[in-house]
Amino acid sequence: MKINWKTFLEKAKPLPNAWHSNFRNPKTLPNLQIEFAIGFLKRLTFVCCIVLVLAVAVKWYRIQDLSDQIQEVEAFIEAQNKANFKQLATSALFREKSAKITTLYNTFFPAVNLDDFLLELSDLQTGMLRFHEVSIDRRVNFSTEVSKPNNPRNPPLKNKPVAAIKVPFFRCVLVGQVNDIYDFALDTLDALKTRMRGMSTLKGWEVKQPQLSELRRKDLADKQEMIAFVLTLEID
């Protein structure tokens, strides 16, 4: 909307005045609209400046805050890095030592591979023959007569260990059951003993004849019997 200031001002001053001739000189009068506008602009500029300064101050404060945070995080990362390097060093040391230990262990105490042994053992089960419990006792008896092996990196597994070292002790106690007539069950157990001695995982070891230590009979329905057994296998 366009405001015609001249007519607007004339309307604002309804002086139909007679006997009030105005002798003022309009040429040297300040323009109040312009003065007002200038004053308004000055105030506006002032307010803008204040707002700008405040905005800058807030930004600056935020930047300060952020850089403080960055410093903190950097310090944290550095500290972490140090710790990490330490850990890495420890880990490397550990790996080195554990390799050494494994080597040593393998050198001095070659053993039956338990995983393979258990897998093979479980394959021996049949429809009537079931194992309930397998307990393996594996120990090493130290001896003062221990002497260095010929080649620690590649220990002679097939041969008997060096005479000075005590043979590691390996005992497997098998608890299970056979659901069959007693006589047949004994045959089954005999067969089991033979098969256990011939297990491929025990190749190279001198396996003693497995010993049945316990036998219990229990009658089941339909003339069936259940024979519980404990079989002990030892490696010499």
Please identify, using beta-carbon distances, which residue of 5 and 61 lies nearer to other proteins: 5
Least gap, CB of 25 to other proteins (angstroms): 6
- CB 68 to other proteins: min, Å: 46
Contacts of 38 (CB under 8 A, 6+ apart): none
User: Can you tell me the distance from the alpha carbon of 130 to that of 125, in angstroms, rounded to the nearest whole number?
Assistant: 6
CB of 6 to other proteins, least distance (A): 16
In degrees, rounded to 5, the angle at the alpha carbon of residue 30 between the alpha carbons of residues 26 and 33 is 110
Least distance CB 47 / other proteins (angstroms) = 17
Going by C-alpha positions, the residue among 231, 196, 192, 187 that lies closest to residue 213 is 231
Residue 28 or 151: the one with the smaller Cβ distance to other proteins is 28
Q: How far is the CB of 4 from other proteins (least distance, A)?
A: 20
- Would you say 35 or 72 has its CB closer to other proteins? 35
Of 24 and 153, CB closest to other proteins: 24
Alpha helices in 109-161 (DSSP H): 114-123
Amino acid (1-letter code) at residue 122: S
Alpha helix stretches (DSSP H) within 113-212 = 114-123, 182-197
Query: Looking at beta carbons only, is 7 or 150 nearer to other proteins?
Result: 7
Nearest distance, CB of residue 18 and other proteins, angstroms: 3
Binding region for other proteins (CB under 8 A):
13-25, 28-30, 32, 35, 39
CB 204 within 8 A of CB 167: no
Q: Strand locations in 107-224, DSSP E?
A: 129-139, 169-179, 211-219
Q: At a CB cut-off of 8 Å and minimum separation 6, what does 234 contact?
A: 170, 171, 172, 207, 208
> What's the rounded Cα separation, in Å, for the pair 176 and 133?
7
Distance of closest approach, residue 52 Cβ to other proteins, in angstroms? 24
Residue 3 vs 29, nearer CB to other proteins: 29
Whether residue 182 contacts residue 224, with contact meaning beta carbons closer than 8 Å, is answered with no
39/152 with CB nearer other proteins = 39
